């Protein structure tokens, strides 16, 4: 799942792709007993609205990549939201590259950069989990002495010192 959000001028550049199909999506708000509420049927649009308190407008898609316009984005930034958790990646739009190689090349490069960055983030999260798992458990010494590791012993001694100085 991939969603791309940019200002109107930059979204119009993406629309020049020969693969782009106009799809204006769902209405941004719906009538709820005489009161207008945000439409939650478009999960990404709803997520974006919750995060930034603004309405984005669907412009179209290229395959399963959806393009949205945020009229409050006035600079040359593009936000790419990757995956089911809408992981955010923000890039500066390279107009020179678009002019030289074309919008399709640029979008392909943007997708490749996003996937690489996503993999790096995922790898960093896994390393953090491993580091957290390496932290010993002081209770293992008393509850299961046959399974004590060096990290468990270090944690036990650290807690013992901490308790001695706090009393």
What is the pLDDT at residue 55? 87
What is the pLDDT at residue 161? 81
Residue of 64, 95, 62, 61 lying closest to 78 (CA atoms): 95
What is the pLDDT at residue 100? 96
Domain layout of the chain by residue ranges: 2-131, 136-166
What is the pLDDT at residue 134? 65
pLDDT by residue for the chain (167 residues), tens only, comes to 899 999 999 999 999 999 999 987 776 667 777 777 777 778 898 899 889 998 899 999 999 999 999 999 999 999 999 998 999 999 999 999 999 999 999 999 999 999 999 999 988 888 777 766 667 777 877 888 888 887 878 888 888 887 777 65
* Residue 67, beta-bridge partner list: 4, 60
Specify the fold of 2-131: capsid protein of prophage fold (3.30.1930)
Q: Cα separations (Å) of 51 from 15, 20, 45, 55? A: 26, 27, 10, 11
Long-range contacts of 49-52 (CB under 8 A, 24+ apart): none
What is the pLDDT at residue 137? 78
For residue 155, give both structure tokens. Answer: 């944690």
pTM assigned to the model = 0.72
Measured distance CA(6)–CA(27) in Å, rounded: 19
CA 75 to chain centre: 20
Classify residue 42 by burial, with Cβ atoms within 10 Å: 0-12, 13-18, 19+.
Answer: buried
């Amino acid at each position: 799942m991939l969603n791309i959000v940019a200002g109107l001028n930059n979204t119009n550049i993406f629309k020049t792709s020969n693969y782009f199909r106009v799809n204006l999506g769902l209405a941004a708000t719906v009538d709820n007993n005489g009161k207008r509420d945000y439409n939650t049927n478009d999960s990404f649009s709803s997520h974006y609205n919750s995060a930034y308190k603004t309405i984005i407008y669907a412009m179209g898609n290229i395959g399963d990549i959806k393009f949205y316009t945020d009229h409050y984005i006035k600079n040359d930034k593009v936000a790419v939201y990757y995956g089911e958790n809408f992981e955010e990646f923000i890039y500066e739009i390279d107009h020179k590259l678009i002019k030289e190689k074309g919008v399709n090349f640029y979008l392909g490069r943007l997708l490749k950069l996003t996937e690489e960055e996503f993999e790096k983030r995922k790898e960093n999260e896994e390393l953090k989990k491993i580091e957290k798992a390496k932290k010993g458990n002081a209770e293992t010494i008393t509850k299961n002495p046959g399974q004590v590791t060096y990290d468990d012993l270090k944690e036990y001694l650290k807690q013992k010192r901490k308790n001695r100085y706090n009393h």
